[in-house]
Amino acid sequence: MARIWLSRLFLGGLLLLVPFSLGACAADGGSPDLGCSASSTPCLKGTATVVLQTSKGEVQLQLDGAAAPLTAGNFVDLVNRGTYNGTVFHRVVREPVPFVVQGGDPASADPKVSASQYGLGSFLDPASGEARLIPLEIKRSDEPAPRYGEPVTAPGVTSKLDLVHQRGALAMARSADPNSASAQFYVALQALPELDGRYAVFGRVSKGMEVVDQIRQGDKLIKASVVAGGTLVQGKP
């Protein structure tokens, strides 16, 4: 019962992360037209290693550009822009069982923003002044390219996903619209199969999971850096 309750709590929290007025694209049946070929957001070619310097220590992330090129590319681009530097881990759920550590809200780096507003922000593209939103990206092992735009939750299908919510999985938070992820991310503290196909996993913690286990709400992400790989391209990698 605790696991079911916590799952509902987490899903409800994620659905409130990004204001509904941001105008994300509507889901369209998993069209490939929402992917790298049509996006102005750069996509990741190959892999990338990102190091997070946190107030509790260093965490290393391995990003998968084969299974999640658009989602991983968006993250690498934001790291390169310094978007995550000085942000706060604003949501940590450990009770009644370990669940997630969540951060990446650009607004949380602004000392003028109240902590009560953390979790509502998105990355604002300086060129347009508008929020950058990316579609839900899910890759099945029996398909050559990711699906975009809607959750993949049919019985039996989630067992075919390339990237799932194992302990240490790195994934994007979003609002009720599947195509509203922006900058906020979370790390799974244990396997969370109930989230598979609903939220875009794009990498994993490769070193420093013991540091993630120590992070508490209010701790800081001091700096994020790409230390290997990270080749970004426009269009399909």
Instruction: Identify the band that residue 97 occupies on the pLDDT scale cut at 50, 70 and 90.
Output: very high
Two structure tokens written together for 237: 């990698």
User: String of b and e for 212-228 (b: at least 16 CB within 10 Å)?
Assistant: beebebebbbeebebee
**Quick one: pLDDT at residue 29?**
41
Stronger pLDDT, 237 or 33, i.e. the higher one: 237
Q: Is pLDDT above 60 for 143? A: yes
Mean pLDDT of 121-131: 94
Q: Is pLDDT above 90 for 145? A: yes
**Quick one: pLDDT at residue 2?**
45
Instruction: Identify the band that residue 8 occupies on the pLDDT scale cut at 50, 70 and 90.
Output: very low
**Quick one: pLDDT at residue 6?**
44
Mean pLDDT of 152-180: 94
User: String of b and e for 71-110 (b: at least 16 CB within 10 Å)?
Assistant: bbbbbbbbbeeebbbebbbbbbbeeeebbbbbbbbbbbbe
pTM of the model: 0.89
**Quick one: pLDDT at residue 80?**
98
**Quick one: pLDDT at residue 20?**
27
Q: Is pLDDT above 80 for 188? A: yes
Structural domains present in the chain: 2-233 (2.40.100.10)
Q: Is pLDDT above 50 for 21? A: no
Mean pLDDT of 150-160: 90
Q: Is pLDDT above 50 for 44? A: yes
What is the amino acid identity at position 169? A
Pure H helices in 129-218 = 209-212
**Quick one: pLDDT at residue 32?**
54
Instruction: Identify the band that residue 93 occupies on the pLDDT scale cut at 50, 70 and 90.
Output: very high
**Quick one: pLDDT at residue 70?**
98
In this predicted structure, which of 9-18, 27-36, 217-226 has the lowest mean pLDDT? 9-18
